[in-house]
């Protein structure tokens, strides 16, 4: 190592000849033999490892049907069950819907996870007198770290009279890496 090693350099491991053909082994006689062991221990702690049973691809649940939303019956929501059989922790949930309704401002949509935690994703009076929702999607915050496994519920309430409608499609995406919503 001779004149190439500088113990006063801010990076004591600095080796100006390290990448030359004669020094590709990165051996430094001034560092103890435990150096590689220490580096391996630090790297094993620094590199995040996925938890077991985490989904590696999109987890999507789609239902089609005709679920009537009771007009002006906020105390009697239409409940749609989505059964999730994937064991993981939630990092992102997106709900997409098709709703046929003559005045979508009357509606409120709520997502309930298997533990009972609730989050409103479509607020009452939003979208006003607009008719219908076609492939309308919302990112639903507040479920990070919750378990995915179990029955999720999507509740729809109609909070005003004279307009009727129904849900015709639900798409729920959980931890979907391709989800751009």
Same domain, 21 and 108: no
| pLDDT at position 101 | 94
**Quick one: 6 and 86 in the same domain?**
no
Full domain range(s) for residue 37: 2-46
The domain that holds 106 is classified in CATH as: 2.60.120.260
Let me know how long the chain is: 181
Nearest alpha carbon to residue 70 among 164, 181, 139, 174:
164
Asked whether 154 and 61 are in contact (CB, 8 A), the reply is no
pTM of the model: 0.66
pLDDT in tens, 72-123: 999 999 999 999 888 888 889 999 999 999 999 999 999 999 999 999 999 9
Asked if 138 and 89 sit in the same domain, the reply is yes
163-175 pLDDT, tens digit each: 889 999 999 998 8
Same-domain status, 41 and 130: no
Are both 141 and 63 inside the same structural domain? yes
Cα–Cα distance between 74 and 119 in angstroms, integer? Answer: 16
Phi, psi of 9 (to 5 degrees): -65, 140
Is the residue at 88 inside a domain? yes
Structural domain contains residue 127: yes
Based on the fold, state whether residues 65 and 125 are members of the same structural domain.
Answer: yes
- 84 and 18 share a domain? no
34 exposure class (CB count in 10 Å sphere: 0-12, 13-18, 19+) = exposed
Do 63 and 118 share a domain, yes or no? yes
Between the ranges 79-83, 123-127, 175-179, where is the mean pLDDT highest? Answer: 79-83
């Amino acid at each position: 190592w001779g004149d190439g090693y500088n113990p006063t350099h801010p990076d004591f491991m600095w080796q100006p000849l390290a990448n030359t053909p004669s020094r590709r082994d990165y051996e430094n006689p001034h560092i103890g033999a435990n150096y590689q062991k220490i580096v391996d221990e630090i790297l094993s702690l620094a590199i995040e490892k996925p938890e077991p049973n985490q989904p590696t691809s999109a987890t999507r649940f789609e239902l089609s049907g005709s679920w009537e939303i009771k007009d002006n019956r906020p105390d009697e929501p239409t409940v749609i069950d989505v059964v999730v059989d994937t064991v993981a922790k939630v990092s992102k949930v997106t709900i997409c819907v098709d709703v046929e309704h003559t005045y979508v401002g009357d509606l409120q949509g709520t997502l309930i996870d298997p533990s009972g935690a609730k989050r409103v994703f479509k607020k009452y009076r939003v979208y006003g007198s607009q008719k219908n929702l076609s492939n309308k999607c919302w990112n639903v915050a507040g479920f990070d770290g919750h378990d995915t496994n179990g029955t999720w519920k999507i509740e729809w309430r109609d909070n005003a009279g004279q307009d009727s409608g129904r849900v015709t499609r639900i798409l729920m995406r959980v931890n979907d890496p391709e989800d751009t919503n």
